[in-house]
Each structure stands twice: as C-alpha cells, then as structure tokens.
Chains A and B, each alone.
Chain A
C-alpha cells in the first residue's frame, strides 16, 4: 500500500480513528459541561469524577457476584450498564445538586467552581484510597467483538459503535435543548427564573433535573469509555481540564459549538500524534490560546465581555487587622522566633506557601479575578531557578530572580490571553494555560520529567553566607517573605491600588471615569504572577528540588484554598490560611492517600460554612462588637450608617 506524504495510511487512519473516538468523548463531556454552565452558571469541575463514576458503575455491575458474595447477584454486562448506570450517576448528580450545588447559585462564580473542585477531590480521592492508581480492566461486550476490514485498516466494531452512539446522543441532546418546548422552558428559566416561576413551573426542580441530566451524560460517557480506556480513579482528572479548554474554544453558550469542537479537537489531536507526537498532549491548549487571540468569544460564541471583577473581599477597611505597618513588624517578630519552636524546614515551607497565597490573593482578593492557574507561575519559576542554579551555576539570588522573570513574562502572556474573557471562563482559561505548562514540563528534556530537577545547590547569599546552614536559609526566606508581603501591601495601598479597588467595586463606573480597566487588571495579574514566581523560585532553592507537583493544578488549588480559608481580600488571610493548610498537610501526612480527601472536604466545608474565612469571620465579630459598644455608649443617638456591609 502506498504511503501518504511519507506516513503509512494504517498509522494515519488509525490515529484519526482514535482521535475521532476521543473526540466523541470530548463532545459528550463538554456538552454536559456546557449545559450545566449555560443553564446553572456552574463550572462543573466534578464532571470528570462523574465520568469516572460511570466507568466504575459499569465495572461494579460486571463484578456484582464478587462484590457481594452470598447474595446470589448475577453479573450484569455492558448493555445493562449502558441502561442503568447513566441513571444511577444522574441520580447521584441530583443528590449532589440538592445537597451542595444549590447553595451556591446566588454566589459569585468562584464558589461554584471551588465547591465542585472540592467534590471532585473527595470523590476521586476516595476511589484512589480504595483502588489505588492501577486501572481495572473491562472487556468489550461479546455482541460488539470483531470488526470490519476497510482494506487500509481494521476497524473494531466496538469503536464504530461508540462513534455512532456518541454522536447520536449529542445530536439528540442538542435537538431537545434548541428545538423543543422543554428546551425553551429551560433556556427561559436561566434567563429569567422569576418569570418562569410565575408560569407555574418549579424552577428549582428544573435546575436539579438539568444538572442531573448533564451528570448522566458524563456517566454514559464513562460506561462507553470503560472498554476502551482503563477504569481508574484518575481517568476523570486527566480529561476535565481538556474539556474546559474545549468549552472555551467552542464558545460561550453554544451547545452546538461544544459538540463540533469536541469532535474536531479529538481528530486534530489524533493527527498531531501522527505528525508531531510530542505535541499531542498540548495541541488542544495551544489551539485554545490561538482562538483566544483571534476570536476571543470562541469559535461558535457570539459576543464577549472582558473579565469582570467581582467583589468578594472579606476585609473591613480601616480595621486593625488591615494595618500593614503594624503587621509587618509583628510577622517579622514572629518569624524571627519561629525557628525556636518548629523545624526551620517547616517554617520555610510555611513562608514560601504564605507568600504564594499572598500573591494569589492580590489577583483573586484585591482585583476579584478568579485565576486558577497560579501553579504555572510558581512552578515555572521553581524550574528556572533550579535549572539556572544547578546547571549554569547561577548564584542563589540571580537564580531566584531568573525564576521571577520567567513567571512575570508568563503572567503577562497568560493575562493578556485570559483577560479577554469573563468570570468562569477566566478561571477555565488560566487553568488550561497552566496545564499547557504542566505538559511542557513533563516532556521537555531539561526538566527531567517525573524526577524533576534534583540536588539544586543552595549556594551562598551575597557570595559568602552559607545557605546550607538551616538558620541562614530560614532567615533569608523570612526576608524574602517580608519583602513580598510589604510589596503587596504597597501595591494595594498605592494610587494603582485605589484604581484596582474601584474596578472591583464598580467596573463600569471606573471605565466611565476614564480608566482602561483591562490594562489595570493585566498589570495586577502580571505582578501577582511575578510574586508567585518569587515564592516558587525560593521554594526550589530551599528544598533543592523543582518537581512536577509544583506545576500541577493541585498547587493552584492549594493557593485558592489557603486564601479562602484565611479570608479572601484580607491582609492576613493568606498567611493564616497557609498556616492552617501547611499544618493540616503535616498532621495528615500519615493518612497517605486520604490527604486529598481531607483537602477536598476542607474546600467543600469552606465554601458552605466559612466563606469569609478565618480573618473575615473575625472581622464580622469585631464589627458586631463595635456596633454593640456604640449603641451602649449612645443609646439615644441616631444610629450611624454602618461602615461595613455584607
């Protein structure tokens, strides 16, 4: 048989077929995500875990006799799974909506995303505890064994079935939503719930069913995937970020766009495997970046608005907890005595992560943009610092600065791409761009893949202070932290910070006063990235290693968790959050794989019960006490308008 442009057709069509099958799964998954996002305004990060539940559901049905010996249950095969599991997963979805998702509809998008990230961590963590990382096998059903010989390649029946069934499901869903009365009600309910309620329609139930339906689709995709991919706890985690990128490329509110984009990207990914295998994991994210440059609204989306800032700050202006000068001194004093109570290594970890969280808080808390890819800045800086110190023999300060420069550059680039899109999309884009960095780091030769860059020399500060001496290293890190903390305080309380504040409070008004708000947001984002890089580079020197964990999305999630637990948009919140999270990680280290479950649960609990964080809650308490005092002092005076709201 002839070669096409030097590529054997078996390889070309084989990869195209694999690409098309991946594309079917992308389409089904992004369809569910797009529906849930379009109707409920929830960025359903737990979608990947729900897909995994579908696959495990099929596997469970198959192994009923072994799982429940003595009950005499039959082993239910593929077709049973296809009929039962999507409903079961949908039912779990309905329960999830009722118990968790419903509570965050009226809140900022950030909380919905955080909640679903937490749920995903809990579910995937639990499966990981039970089944480990290894995959389970699930056979192709007998009725779909065999295949068709197309002459140039052999096409397995099961794959043919997946393609047809998957596309059929997508088209049917699109038809129901865009062309039927039920779909019209659904769309109306999301536009104007009160009006639809006035028609006598039970809107909450409708939203619950919509969520359940989207989740059921993920379950169905999971069952269909079980015979092709390995059934493993990680299967959802690796797909969800790609799905978010697909939704961004497809465009806002476009169901049709999600389907077509999913199929198309699967095939492009397949083709890339043929022509340039190294790029196949990143190609979707690169396409996303290109689409954002030329069509910020996505391929099928209509209009676009720049990322709008949201005010979720828990701070009380002029509170004693916001007095930067006081707290720099107190934190400095605390930092100096800390190594007499804890190991210096623990103290340094704390300081690095606290600085990272403070940097994150600058963009999330003070500008109100839900960035979700700060691991890219933290991690890339760690790698650059480690590499320049280990391979090029850069002195310590210069290595860290090189890392900061890298993070700042990346921040400017990612920010420029992401600021064009609003709200949740901003989170999805930053997440996907960070994933791009992650895949790059896995593959690039100089980063040494799974091993990371090890044995990084700590070197000498200013050429003569031995940093291998733990206390020297510790005080250097303390100085870096205090410098970063002071800089952030200055940024927030500068003329620039005033404008940031006005943008967060009322962006259209800030524009009408003549401020090009996008530029302010971009600069803030870049500064935040650079400071995250400072934390990452310092960390690489302290621990003498840069590893994949530094660029992994869990690190972005950690930054968010620390900021949230401590108190978003407060001066001290990220520091308090870092203390809590780092202590928690240390205490729970013995739990092994349970750590991720605990951390996920912390996310969920924080979103549901501690939205203001520790510092924010303290502020509410202080403000209530102040109010009581004032009333006691002047019982007959006219109550003054309260200074703090929310």
Chain B
C-alpha cells in the first residue's frame, strides 16, 4: 500500500449534494495521526455536513473515505463507530434519564460483547464500575455519579459526553463544536480536557472559538461554501487573505 502510514483519515473528492445544492464539494482532507485537527469556516461552510460524512451519518454523493487505509465509504455509522471513530454532537448528547454513571457504562459495556444478552442481569455490568469511576473522576464528575444526567448543568453535560466518548477508547475523536454554548470557565476546562486526552489519539474538531483553535490545533482546515479554502498551522491560515475575506466578507 502506498498510503503514507501517518494519515488516519484520507478523504478524496468528498461531495454531498442536497437536491442539487452541494453542501460539501470535492473536499480532499488528510488527518495526521495523533494530531489535533480543526475544521473552521463561516456559517454554512459545510463543516457539520463533512462531519456527518466522515461518521457515515450521511452517505456521500461522491468520493471515498479511507480510515487507516481501509475504504469505509460504504459502512454503517455503527460499524464505523466500532472501528474506533467516535463523534460528539453539537447539542450535548447524553442519555438524560439514565444516571451519570450509567451514561458512561453504556459505552464501556459494548466491548464486553454481552449487549444482546437479554437473559442476563444487569448486575453483570457491575464489574465496569471501577472504570466508570476513573472516567468520571477524569472529567471531574465523580461527585455526580448517581444523579440523573438531565439534572446536570450544561457545561457538566458536555463533560459527561466527553467521558462517554472516552470510554470507548476511540482512536479518532470527532468533536462537533465542543465549546459552543459554554461560559469561559467551562471553555477552559473542556479545552484542557481535549489537550489531556489527545495523547495517543487523533482529534478532528469543528470549532467556532478561534482562541481555542489557536491554543489546541496542530493543523487547521478552513472550509467555505463546501470547499477547502486553506490549510495549515494557525499562524499561516490566519494570515491568509482569502480566509480573512471569507470571514469578513461572509455573513459573520
């Protein structure tokens, strides 16, 4: 195989049309292993659509996606998740009526391979408790363990979502606007968390908060009108006149 081994994702010619309108148009994107890669761009640039394509929540109209060299273009979202690509959602994705601990445990449960065993007691899942506590402590939610997730403040919900995602030990984490809607204190905490978990894994994130991007991202890809406008380190991208034009001339 002549693929450079240090790319975890290689998307080629990725296009998604909705009724003729191309939300994402012929995007090529490489994500380097063990990097933090940020996707930015003005509203409507196609960032979330691109995310949905990578995680297979949407089927591309054209193009291919390779993950670790394997073509995953035709796979189901659940299959892709089992390969190690785990995403978060723009609106915090938790299971509101389950307890905080159960939220994390549901992710830990999958690799056990007992999820179809309707005849077993759920007490067989107790052996996961230790790992649940570790993960909750890592995101500072240890004290909330047995509470219903719906009752958490918004920033804590995001942290819980993070812990659930981490529980799967994903090779590639896709974070859709991880700091949106958070107060500055929470933004710092989440940014630190991202930094902390990025060791030994790859992170691809859509992010509006440019200071977070500047702080975390190794590589930045700027999307505008469904196309790649620029790519590179923060200093290069932020100095690119086309990027400035897109942001200032755009609707933002």
Contact = CB atoms under 8 A, between A and B. Distances in A.
Interface of A: 311, 313, 317, 490-491, 493-499, 501-502, 505-506, 508-517, 520, 523, 527, 640-645
Contacts, number: 124
Contacts of A515: 78, 110, 115
B150 A645 contact: yes
Chain B CB within 10 A, most for which of A311, A313, A643: A643
Q: Shortest 6 CB-CB distances between A and B: which pairs?
A: A641-B151, A514-B81, A496-B118, A509-B93, A505-B95, A516-B78
B119 A513 contact: no
Contact of A513 (B81, B150, B152): B81
10 contacts: A311-B97, A495-B112, A495-B125, A496-B118, A498-B105, A498-B122, A501-B97, A640-B151, A641-B147, A645-B148
A508 B89 contact: yes
Interface in B107-136: 107, 109-110, 112, 114-122, 124-125
Interface string B187-214: 0000000000000000000000000000
B119 to A, nearest CB: 6
B217 interface: no
A506 B125 CA distance: 21
A514 to B, nearest CB: 4
A348 B116 CA distance: 33
Given A494-B122, A512-B81, 19 more contacts: A317-B98, A317-B148, A490-B118, A495-B117, A495-B120, A496-B120, A498-B105, A498-B115, A501-B97, A501-B98, A505-B98, A513-B106, A513-B107, A514-B168, A516-B76, A520-B116, A523-B118, A643-B147, A645-B151
B170 to A, nearest CB: 10
Nearest to A503: B95
B118 A506 contact: no
A527 B102 CA distance: 24
B78 A514 contact: yes
Interface string B144-155: 000110111000
Contacts of A496: 115-118, 120
B96 interface: yes
Contacts of A516: 76, 78-79
- Which residue among B82, B95, B96 has the maximum number of chain A CB atoms within 10 Å of its CB? B95
A427 to B, nearest CB: 24
Interface in B83-107: 86-89, 93-99, 102, 105-107
A108 B116 CA distance: 28
A511 B109 contact: no
A640 B111 CA distance: 34
Contacts of A523: 116, 118
Contacts of A313: 97
Contacts of A508: 57, 89, 93
A497 B124 CA distance: 12
Contacts of B112: 495
A499 B96 CA distance: 14
Contacts of B76: 516
Contacts of A513: 81, 86, 106-107, 110, 164, 168
B77 interface: yes
A512 B115 contact: no
B124 A495 contact: yes
B25 interface: no
A520 B106 CA distance: 14
**Which of A491, A512, A516, A644 has the most chain B CB atoms closer than 10 A to its own CB?**
A512
B176 to A, nearest CB: 10
Contacts of B121: 490, 493-494
B35 interface: no
Contacts of B150: 641, 645
A419 B147 CA distance: 33
B221 interface: no
Contacts of B77: 511-512
B179 interface: no
With most chain B CB atoms within 10 A of its CB, the pick from A496, A501, A527 is A496
B48 interface: no
Contacts of B125: 495, 498
B78 A517 contact: yes
B55 interface: yes
Nearest to A315: B97
A282 B170 CA distance: 50
Contacts of A311: 97
A309 to B, nearest CB: 12
Contacts of A505: 95-98
A6 B95 CA distance: 64
B148 A490 contact: no
Contact of A514 (B82, B93, B95): B82
Contacts of A491: 118-119
A509 B96 CA distance: 12
Contact of A645 (B93, B97, B110): B97
Nearest to B110: A514
A496 B116 CA distance: 5
Contacts of B109: 495, 498-499
Contact of B118 (A497, A510, A642): A497
B86 A509 contact: no
B118 A512 contact: no
A91 B8 CA distance: 63
